[in-house]
Structure 1
Amino acid sequence: GTFLLVLVQHTEADYIIPDFEANWHQANEHCFSIGKRLAITDSLERHNAVVNEIKNSPAFNNVSTHIWFGASDLGKEGTFYWHATGKKVTFINWRWDNPDNENNVEHCVSLLSVPSEKWDWHANDQSCDRMHHFVCEDFRTLLGIVVPLKK
């Protein structure tokens, strides 16, 4: 029989930055508990959207802002994945000197804005137990619906 495959994809993200700090694991758990996930910034467009959201939140200050988002190399040192999807990180806004796994304890990724130290919304690997604000996002999976066509 003939059928029609309908693909539905929602690409707009809806972000929430809770008004408290957490370690990276707690941040993950909190996002999942409210039906969201730690933000994924796998394109310049999504990176900029997350940065704009942070700048408009109480978590932002113009001296030093550290925000957890959803990448880590907890599974294999030096290979970063998006926690919520299991996909390998191909785009991320690392600073020139990162990731550096300083003291062999940095496995979770935060976004940093520290103008005095030339951190301009770059990604930084940090110890997962550091306490930071974090960004949760809505997510939609690619949904395939097969619709049979009558002859």
Structure 2
Amino acid sequence: MYQLCTFALVTFCLVFGVHGALEPVEVANKTYTIKTTTKQSWFKAEQLCNLDGLTLATITSADDNDNLSDALDTAGVSSGEFWIGGTDNALTGDWYWLGSGVPVVYNEWIKGKPGNANKNDHCMSLVDYSWTVSNCEKKLFYICQNQC
């Protein structure tokens, strides 16, 4: 039994890493770490990324969006909803990337977004390669990246 448990633990760590993530995927000048074992709020996701020296993913161009899509495909998790680093918490409607403080200029919003009809949706998530807004307390998987 001990050998089986050790094998299972080692296999889990090799596949998901110590902090419950798929192996980092390097694309262009960014390394993405896709966290898919425990869903977190947007704030907790950013905090956990920071503990690993990372930040929630930042997408500033069509190339970035394509590269992140490639990283998700490579990791085998191309569908689902994931937290990324955009927020308008400072001023509703004024979207910026938390990791860099850079305003969101390029975007891939789902049609009709980032409307905030709910008035509580201030955090950005990626759904099937497009962006939407969600309540920051919603529990989702998340994507970290190196801080560059």
Q: Same fold (TM over 0.5)?
A: yes
| Structure 2 residue ranges without an equivalent (≥5) | 1-27
Aligned CA-pair RMSD: 1.4
Once the two structures are superposed, what CA deviation does each residue of 1:96-150 show, in whole Å capped at 9, x if it has no partner?
210111321110000112xxxxxxx21101100111111111123xxxxxxxxxx
2:60 pairs with 1:52: no
From the superposition, tell whether residues 58 and 130 of structure 1 become closer, same or farther in structure 2 (CA, over 3 Å). Answer: farther
What is the CA-CA distance between 1:59 and the residue it aligns to?
Answer: 4.3
Query: In proportion to residue count, which structure has more helix?
Result: 2
Q: Is the 8 A contact 1:99 1:124 kept in 2?
A: yes
Q: What residue identity is the alignment partner of 1:40?
A: T
TM-score, structure 1 normalization: 0.74
Supply the distance in 1 between the matched residues of 2:78 and 2:141 (Cα, whole angstroms): 9
Once the two structures are superposed, what CA deviation does each residue of 1:65-120 show, in whole Å capped at 9, x if it has no partner?
1011000000000010100111111011012210111321110000112xxxxxxx
- 2:138 partner SS: coil
| Structure 1 residue ranges without an equivalent (≥5) | 1-10, 114-120, 141-151
Q: Is the 8 A contact 1:59 1:133 kept in 2?
A: no
2:25 pairs with 1:17: no
Q: How many residues in Structure 1 have an aligned counterpart in Structure 2?
A: 120
Supply the distance in 1 between the matched residues of 2:110 and 2:87 (Cα, whole angstroms): 16
TM-score, structure 2 normalization: 0.76
Supply the distance in 2 between the matched residues of 1:128 and 1:59 (Cα, whole angstroms): 22
2:90 pairs with 1:80: no
Identity of aligned residues (%): 22
What is the CA-CA distance between 1:58 and the residue it aligns to?
Answer: 5.4
Q: Is the 8 A contact 2:69 2:78 kept in 1?
A: no
**Higher RCO (CA 8 Å, separation ≥ 6 residues):** 1
Once the two structures are superposed, what CA deviation does each residue of 1:15-60 show, in whole Å capped at 9, x if it has no partner?
1012321110011001110001111011011111111212333544
The 5 A counterparts of 1:46-125 are 46-57=64-75, 59-61=77-79, 65-113=80-128, 121-125=129-133
From the superposition, tell whether residues 102 and 55 of structure 1 become closer, same or farther in structure 2 (CA, over 3 Å). Answer: farther
Q: Which has the larger radius of gyration?
A: 1
Report what 2:144 is aligned to. 136
Q: Is the 8 A contact 1:73 1:79 kept in 2?
A: yes
- 2:115 partner SS: coil
